[in-house]
Amino acid sequence: SFEIKLRNRKKDAPVEIRVVEHLYRWNNWEIIAKSDDFKKTDAQTIEFRVPVKPDEEKTVTYTVHYSW
């Protein structure tokens, strides 16, 4: 499982933060738990796009299961 903390330090504007994760261990993987929706960009890469309000902190979590 992985946990990624995000923070928007801007006081006046929301932002969208791109979190790109490379799943290097194996090509056969499955995300079995996640806090946010993600997009599979290629065989070993996923991307979360997380909206964060001004002065807000969010945590993205996911669990990946590899099979060989």
pLDDT, one tens digit for every residue, the chain (68 residues): 999 999 999 999 999 999 999 998 777 899 999 999 999 999 999 999 999 999 999 999 999 999 88
The structural domains of the chain, with segments of one domain joined by +, span 2-66
For the entire predicted model, the pTM comes to 0.88
Q: Give the integer Cα–Cα distance in Å for 19 and 2.
A: 12
Residues 6 or more apart whose Cβ sits within 8 Å of residue 27: 43, 44
Q: Give the integer Cα–Cα distance in Å for 8 and 14.
A: 7
Other beta carbons less than 10 A from residue 5's beta carbon: 9
Q: What are phi and psi of 36, to 5 degrees?
A: -140, 160
